[in-house]
């Protein structure tokens, strides 16, 4: 089955009522038919998507990281990197388009292509309705400094992440809810080989995920540090190939070595069941 027909079939199966073949509501996301989707720039993604991606109200090039101390409302302008930020590869040294101070909020922003290292969160932060047309190194990196730090992702979506969408390097809890992700490596990953390691927590709530050729897992936890991935609400994984793992376990390290895979499946580290994660082939 082609991706176009798969998207149409999936959108139809998600319809919540009669007469909704053109639009449906999935986990709080407005789902559009293939004819309604907005063409995006340089997206390595299926030929059609399930969501109605927001139309940018304008375009703004970003040569230097935008630092947000309190709150920033982008009013759905597309921000994309140029000069030193004009990158979209997997280089760990890339800068971010937005750098958020502890307690800051970023709202109503579209990150275009190239997006460099997306968003950096230096403590607790909130991302409201933020969209990544094509993820660069990561969509967002969480660098919480205390166990009480919280990074909240409300709505939005991301496409084309070669590896991770959300990277959790610091302490604390990341909450990802009402989010849409397509063609990704992993939605969330607890850093497997950072120099400083911690027990990390992620809550996945009402997320819709469309697996692609490089999709490996929704989340990755380090069991030796006591990480916990908790799924709430109804999360939906559409995986035509049937190869994407819901929760992949690792033995992490602080020596910069490749972490060792330790299996998959629900347990005290991976908290989900058939009622919280629906898998559709």
CATH number for the domain that contains residue 216: 2.160.20.10
- pLDDT of 91 reads 66
* In the block, residue with structure tokens 């959300």: 166
Is residue 267 included in any domain, yes or no?
yes
| Long-range contacts from 50-59, C-beta under 8 angstroms, 24+ separation | 50/7, 50/10, 50/11, 50/14, 50/26, 50/180, 50/182, 50/208, 50/210, 50/238, 51/26, 51/157, 51/180, 51/208, 52/23, 53/131, 53/133, 53/157, 54/110, 54/131, 56/110, 56/112, 59/112
pLDDT averaged over consecutive 10-residue blocks of the chain (281 residues)? 38 31 32 35 51 91 98 98 86 88 98 96 98 95 98 97 97 98 96 98 97 96 98 96 97 98 98 97 89
Determine, yes or no, domain membership for 35.
no
**What is the structure's pLDDT at 49?**
55
Classify residue 25: in a domain, yes or no.
no
Q: Considering the domain boundaries, does residue 6 fall inside one?
A: no
If one counts the domains in the chain, the total is: 1
Whole-number Å distance between alpha carbons of 116 and 86: 6
């Amino acid at each position: 089955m082609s991706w176009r027909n798969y998207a149409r079939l999936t959108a139809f199966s998600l319809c919540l009522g009669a007469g909704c073949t053109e639009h449906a509501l999935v986990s709080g996301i407005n789902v559009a038919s293939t004819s309604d989707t907005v063409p995006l720039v340089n997206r390595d993604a299926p030929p059609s998507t399930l969501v109605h991606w927001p139309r940018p109200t304008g375009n703004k090039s970003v040569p230097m990281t935008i630092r947000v101390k309190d709150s920033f409302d982008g009013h759905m302008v597309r921000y994309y990197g140029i000069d030193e930020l004009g990158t979209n590869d997997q280089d760990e040294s890339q800068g971010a388009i937005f750098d958020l101070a502890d307690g800051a909020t970023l709202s109503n922003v579209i990150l275009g292509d190239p997006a460099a290292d997306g968003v950096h969160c230096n403590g607790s932060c909130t991302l409201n309705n933020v969209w990544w047309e094509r993820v660069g190194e990561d969509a967002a990196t969480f660098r919480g400094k205390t166990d009480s730090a919280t990074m909240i992702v409300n709505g939005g979506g991301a496409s084309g992440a070669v590896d991770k969408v959300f990277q959790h390097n610091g302490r604390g809890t990341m909450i990802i809810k009402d989010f849409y992700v397509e063609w990704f490596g992993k939605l969330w990953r607890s850093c497997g080989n950072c120099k400083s390691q911690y027990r990390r927590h992620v809550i996945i709530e009402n997320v819709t995920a469309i697996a692609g050729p490089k999709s490996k897992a929704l989340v990755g936890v380090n069991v030796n540090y006591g990480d916990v991935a908790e799924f709430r609400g109804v999360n939906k994984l559409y995986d035509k190939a049937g190869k994407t793992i819901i929760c992949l376990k690792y033995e992490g390290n602080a020596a910069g070595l490749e972490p060792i895979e330790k299996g998959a499946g629900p347990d005290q580290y991976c908290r989900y069941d058939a009622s919280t994660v629906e898998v559709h082939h």
